[in-house]
Amino acid sequence: MSERTLVVDHLKLSYEGLFNASELYNIISSWFYEKGWDWYEKMNQELVTPSGKQIRWLFEPWKNISDYYKLVMAIKIHILDVKQVEVEHEGQKIKLDHGVIRITFDGYVVSDRKGKWTNKPFTWFLSIIFEKYFFREHYSKFELWIKSDVDDLHQKIKSYLNVFKYTYQH
């Protein structure tokens, strides 16, 4: 069994205001595509309530970085009380979503991604020795890599959400 080490623990992003939910989804998925990650959408739920739509997305994309290691990012997105509103921008009316967005990012380095070294006690012991003493420098690079990618995506989403500074009519 592979060992998953948590590197980025619950980096949070909250936002309340205007956005486009489908555009937000496309920005996140295209970011992973551009960076060469494999896309995995674990959950995509939408619930319509009297207070507005409730949307839950759970993405767990991964990137194989060697025969032994892979990076995994877990992104939980909960969008609350989504209502569609009309906004006037440069003389044109456009429809946007208004609601609360809560995003949590986790980043992992997974060792023995194929599970070859953990099926026997001796090879499992060897894998631990190699990881702790021989591959420590490689592992440190992979930790920096996942931290950098999580931060990059976090900043991309933040800058996208800061675009919507229009006033709207209820």
And the tokens for 72?
Answer: 């995994």
The reported pLDDT for the residue numbered 33 is 94
Task: Indicate the length of the chain as a whole number.
Answer: 170
Model pLDDT for residues 31-52, shown as the tens digit of each residue: 999 999 999 999 999 999 898 8
**Collapsing DSSP states into helix, strand and coil, what is residue 161?**
helix
Q: Computed from CA positions of residues 169, 163, 53, 27, in that sequence, does the dihedral angle turn out positive or negative? A: positive
pLDDT band per the 50, 70, 90 thresholds, residue 60 = very high
Q: How many domains does the chain have?
A: 1
Q: Are 161 and 153 in contact (CB under 8 A)?
A: no
Supply the range of the domain harboring residue 111.
3-169
Q: Are 107 and 150 in contact (CB under 8 A)?
A: yes
